[in-house]
Amino acid sequence: MSPDDLVKIIAPAALAFFIGMSITPIVTYYLYKYKCWKKNAGKKVGYAGGGTPLFDELHKEREVNTPRMGGIVIWASVLLTIALLWMLDRYVGGPIWEKLEFLSRSQTWLPVFALLVGAVVGFIDDLMEIRGNGKHFAGGLPLSKRLMVVGAVSVFAGWWFYEKLEVSGVSVPFNGIVDLGPWFILFFALVGLAIYAGGVIDGIDGLAGGVFAIMFGGYGIIALVQGQMDLAAFCGTIVGGLLAFLWFNIPPARFYMSETGVMGLTLALTIVAFMTDAIVGGKGVAVLPLIALPLVLTVGSDLIQVTSKRFRGGKKVFHIAPVHHHFEAIGWPSYKVTMRYWVFSMIAAFLGVLLALVGAL
């Protein structure tokens, strides 16, 4: 690892941060001008099932006067950074721009594609939700349709790995590759759906932005050590965009990330995990449950809540699911939940990176 390698990661990350900070006033202006917030407080009825009266009571004021679509800041800053560096390399040239440009078919085309598709579909969902009225588009895209999009992108990515990159297994720490054959594509799709389900962590000011920044930072370190410089730069750029978003999302949030950010980030994270796995002899997928532990616990708490309500006569384990809202319900201030999640996420990411690197020895 040379100083140039670090520059390749840090410079795009810094550029994405400053681009994000620069475009936020414009994004904010239009989000408030067109009142891009939910017309009625409350969570979408999804994996947790049933209504959410306690959540609605806790969040009734912020839900209806804080814009959604803040995820635009994240993916726009990332895509603008990629486009700017690509154009500087192509039309200005020189060793500096050639070094900083990181859009490559072997490492970043697929995660950039996933980020873009998720951002667009999520944007449509957000737009339908804020413009929905009565029976028309209320609640945005149905969960089934969003899951179909995530599943389709994940299946395509799994097929690409299997057919084009000849990857059919995942690496296990301190062991070899477990070959899944054609079932690898299905496994890829299941991982993508599971990570997307964890996107409901976007529910408290600053929570999702910090957690996603830590997760992509962890995978950026793994990619860097494994010599995947373009992929590491991509992860760093996402971190830069997330930090710009987080600057305005910490309590009280100027806007929420919402689906246009969550869907793009979860799809990109899934592909980054597979990119750092068997294709380079890494352990990216095996450590995903650890690096993304906050998302795993989010999904797990929803499943526990639904199962308990169904098989225990409506009895709940948590006051509210996912579990981060349970902490709010028992009296933790939202900022305390957020900052403790950040600390927890950093510990989980450190352990995941350590396992990935030691397990590859």
pLDDT in tens, 134-158: 454 556 899 999 999 999 999 999 9
- The pLDDT of 100-126, averaged and rounded, is 97
pLDDT in tens, 31-77: 999 999 876 666 655 554 455 566 656 565 566 789 999 999 999 99
CA distances in angstroms from 205 to 209, 248, 337, listed in the order given: 9, 10, 10
Share of residues in the chain with pLDDT > 90 (%): 80
Closest CA relative to residue 77, chosen from 37, 151, 5, 26: 26
Q: For residue 4, what pLDDT band results from cuts at 50, 70 and 90? A: confident
CA dihedral sign of residues 247, 253, 259, 262:
positive
- Is the CB of residue 140 less than 8 Å from the CB of residue 259? yes
Q: For residue 298, what pLDDT band results from cuts at 50, 70 and 90? A: very high
CA distances in angstroms from 280 to 93, 220, 223, 284, listed in the order given: 30, 14, 10, 10
Res 361: pLDDT: 61
- pTM for this model (two decimals): 0.94
Q: For residue 174, what pLDDT band results from cuts at 50, 70 and 90? A: confident
Residues 298 and 303: their CA atoms lie apart, in Å, by: 9
Q: What is the DSSP string of 258-270?
A: HHHHHHHHHHHHH
pLDDT in tens, 240-289: 999 999 999 998 899 999 999 999 999 999 999 999 999 999 999 999 99
Res 173: pLDDT: 86
Residue with the two structure tokens 């730069």: 233
Residues 287 and 298: their CA atoms lie apart, in Å, by: 17
